[in-house]
Amino acid sequence: MMTARRFLGSLVVLAGLFLLFNLLVHQLSRGSLPRKLLRAIRSAPDTELAAIGNSLVEAGFNPGEFSRGWSQDGSNIRAFNAGLGSTGPVEHYLVGRQILRYQPHSQRIVYGYFDFQLTDDGRGPLSEVFANRSISLIYEPDVAAGYLFTNGWSERFFPWLARLPVFVERGSIWAKVERQRRWFGDLGLPRSDSNHFGRAEDFRYLETSTPEDFQEKCRGAQAQRRPITPAVDALFREADGHGVRIYVVEMPMTRRHRDRTYDSDAWRNYNDYLLPLLAQYHAVVISAGDWVPDELFADPLHLGPAGAVEFSHRLGSAIRTLENQRSPGPAEKAR
C-alpha cells in the first residue's frame, strides 16, 4: 500500500541517490577535454601565440612546426594550440578569455574558421550545449549565457544548470554509450575509416548540401548586412583591447570542398564584405584554404598529421613575414 509517507520516503532516498550519481559523474569527468584544455592553458603562461578554433584548428595547428616556420630569421615563438573539436564561437570566446587571463604574454591569436563561422549567429536551443560545448557550462556560464540562446528562460537558468554535473557532463556519458553502439553496429561489416575525431564519412554531413545553397548563403549574409558573430566580436574586441594581434585564418579545405564552395565569386564577394568588418579589430585575414593537398587530409574536413605540419610551417612563415614587412593595420588580406 503506497502511503504519502512512504512516497515521500522514496523521494528522499531518490534525491540522495541522485546526489551520489552527480558526485560520481563529477569525479569521472575530471579528465574531460574541456577541463584538460583549461589546465593546459593555465600551465602554459609563457605562450606568445595561441591558436583558437574548432577541430580544424585542433587537428591542423602544430605549435612546434609553426615555431619552426616562424624562426626563419633565427627568432623563436612559443605557440599554443587551444583548438577543440565540436565547439563554436561562444566556446572560442571563453577559451580566448582564459588565454588573455592566464597567458599574459600572448601577443597574437590565430582564429581558424571555415565557411560561415564568422557571421552565423550561433544561437540555438539548450539541448545543443553538450560534449565539448560544455566549455560554456564549465568556464564562465554567466558570460556564455548571453551569447547562446534565443529564449530568456534558457539564459536565466543556464548558470544554475552549470552546477549539475549530470547535465554538464552528459556528453561524456553519451560518448561512452555511442562507442559501444558503433562497435555493435560494425559487427560483421567491413571496418569503416575512422580517426581521432570519429568516422571519416560522418564529416560529409557537416558540409553545405549543394554549391547553390552555399552561394545563396554568401549572398544572403551580404544582403542582410550580417555583422560578425556576437561571440567572435566579443573575442576580437577583448583581444584588440589587450593589444593582441589577431590573425583570422581561412582553414585549409579539400579540393572537393573548394570546388563546391570557395571557388566562386559569391565566396570571394563574401570575404570582401568581411574585410571592413574585421578592420575594426585591426585583424589580418589569411586565406589558407588551398595550402594543403588532398592526400594530407585525414577525412573530408580535417588535416592529417603531415597536413598539419605543412599548414603550420607555412602559417608560421607567413605571419613572421607579415610582421617583418609592416605592423598590421586595418584588416588586410594575405596569402
Partner 1 sequence: MNWLLRLKHWLEFLGGATDAVPRSFNGPGGWVLLAVWWMALVGLITLFCRQASKFIYIDF
Rounded-to-integer distance, Cα 13 and Cα 325, Å:
69
For partner 1, the binding residue among 131, 144, 244, 278 (CB under 8 A) is: 131
Q: Which of 197, 200, 269, 321 binds partner 1 (CB under 8 A)?
A: 197
Check residue 192 for interaction with partner 1 (CB under 8 A).
no
| Interaction of residue 186 with partner 1, rule CB under 8 A | no
How many Å apart are CA 306 and CA 297, to the nearest integer?
8
Task: Mark the segment that binds partner 1 (CB under 8 A) among 165-173, 229-237, 280-288, 313-321.
Answer: 165-173
- Alpha carbon distances (Å) from 224 to 219, 227, 270, 289: 9, 9, 12, 25
Nearer to partner 1, 102 or 167 (CB): 167
DSSP element (H, E) containing 319: helix 305-325
Nearer to partner 1, 178 or 272 (CB): 178
Cα–Cα distance for residue pair 232/252, rounded to 1 Å: 20
User: Which residue stretch of 163-171, 225-233, 237-245, 283-291 sits at the interface with partner 1 (rule: CB under 8 A)?
Assistant: 163-171
Residues 6+ apart with CB under 8 A from 317: 69, 70, 72
Q: Which of residues 59 and 315 has its CB atom nearest to partner 1 in the complex?
A: 59
CA angle 179, 180, 182 (to 5 degrees): 65
Q: Is 132 in the site for partner 1 (CB under 8 A)?
A: yes
Pick the piece of the chain touching partner 1 (CB under 8 A) from 17-25, 274-282, 283-291, 304-312: 17-25
For residues 278 and 331, give the distance between their C-alpha atoms in angstroms, rounded to a whole number: 6
CB 228 within 8 A of CB 240: no
> How far is CA 263 from each of CA 203, 256, 278, rounded to the nearest angstrom?
20, 10, 22
| Beta-sheet strand order (sheet of 108-113) | 79-81, 49-52, 108-113, 245-250, 284-287, 332-334
Q: Give the distance from CA 121 to its chain's centroid.
A: 14
Count of residues that bind partner 1 according to CB under 8 A = 39
CA distance 83 to 57: 5
Does 39 engage in binding with partner 1 (CB under 8 A)? no
Q: How far, in Å, CA of 56 to CA of 296, rounded? A: 13
Indicate whether 13 belongs to the interface with partner 1 (CB under 8 A): yes
The residue within the footprint of partner 1, chosen from 120, 121, 140, 202 (CB under 8 A), is 202
Nearer to partner 1, 209 or 327 (CB): 209
> Given the rule CB under 8 A, which of 108-116, 200-208, 213-221, 276-284 is the region that contacts partner 1?
200-208
Should residue 53 be labelled a site residue for partner 1 when binding is judged by CB under 8 A? no
Site residues for partner 1, 205-244, by CB under 8 A, read 205-206
> What is the closest distance, in whole angstroms, from the C-beta atom of residue 198 to partner 1 in the complex?
4
Q: Residue 170 or residue 313: which is nearer to partner 1 going by CB?
A: 170
Q: Of 92, 108, 170, 320, which lies in the binding site for partner 1, with binding defined by CB under 8 A?
A: 170
Contact 254, 297 (CB under 8 A): yes
Q: Is 23 in the site for partner 1 (CB under 8 A)?
A: no
Residue 76 Cβ vs partner 1, minimum distance, rounded to whole Å? 31
Task: Give me the residues paired with residue 199 across strands.
Answer: 194
Provide the binding-site residues for partner 1, judged by CB under 8 A. 1-2, 6-7, 9-14, 17-18, 21, 32-33, 55, 85-86, 127, 131-132, 166, 170-175, 177-179, 181-182, 196-198, 202, 205-206
